[in-house]
Structure 1
Amino acid sequence: MPMQTICPYCGNTIITVTSHVPGVLSWLLCMGLFVFGCALGCCFIPFCVKSLLDVKHSCPVCQHELFCHHRL
């Protein structure tokens, strides 16, 4: 969820912009699926499920990354 905060870089009161990025959990699940025989593309499923991806919060004004919520 986006959150309201004051950006420490530009000093503006903002509502963060969130984006989902692959993290450690996604890569571990991908490698685990590949090892257990899902080599024909099924191992990439963790990159399509938003609840398995990390969430990056950034400032909409200066584009700096403020926080990253890691799933693992």
Structure 2
Amino acid sequence: MSDDFLKVSMEDAPAPPPYPSSDDNNSRNLNESEQPQQGYSHGAPPPRAQPPAEGYGPTNPAYAPPGGGTTVIINQPRFVPPKDAFNEEPIRMKCDACHQEVLTSIHYETGMMVYLISIVCCVLGLVAGCCLIPFCVNIFKDVIHSCPNCRHQLGVMRRM
């Protein structure tokens, strides 16, 4: 049944109209009213562009010599987390150095708060090394946020 269908459909199809030759189209001089309305003609293909002059070919306009135009440079806005975003817990942010979305790694460093509490402990009369306790407790230390991939420092939470 499918063979019969193909024979019938191929025999019933009308032949496509003939295309005009390129000689007929080039010899005619068309004025404005005779131009085709669809924006193309049925004649020869458009002429090819001239090959580039000797050398390396076309240049990129971004690297053109000065005075050849205006170059616009657009800087992307940089995300800066607010100061209160850095705390004792890791946060998710984009690293400035490796441009990856990361969960920051944190570590603690001795800051001004540790020294101040240690001095206060000494003044209040705590003896026998009790003034060294603030150096062992992370609650009094500064928190440093860094990228786990490249170890770039992303932010600091200072206690004081």
Bin of the TM-score, shorter chain as denominator length: 0.7 to 0.9
Q: What TM-score results when the alignment is normalised by the length of structure 2?
A: 0.42
Superposed CA RMSD: 1.2
Q: Which one has a larger percent strand, Structure 1 or Structure 2? A: 1
Kindly report structure 1 stretches of 4+ aligned residues shifted beyond 4 Å: none
Aligned residues: 72
CA radius of gyration, larger in: 2
1:13-66 CA-partner distances (Å, limit 9, x unpaired): 111001111110001111222233334311111112221111000001111111
Match of 2:158 in 1: 70
Whole-Å separation in 2 of the counterparts to 1:40 and 1:65 = 37
Q: Which amino acid aligns with 1:23?
A: G
Match of 1:28 in 2: 116
Q: Which amino acid aligns with 2:108?
A: H
1:5 aligns with 2:75: no
Match of 1:17 in 2: 105
Match of 1:43 in 2: 131
Q: What TM-score results when the alignment is normalised by the length of structure 1?
A: 0.88
Structure 1 unmatched runs, 5+: none
% identical equivalent positions: 36
| SS in structure 2 of the partner of residue 38 of structure 1 | coil
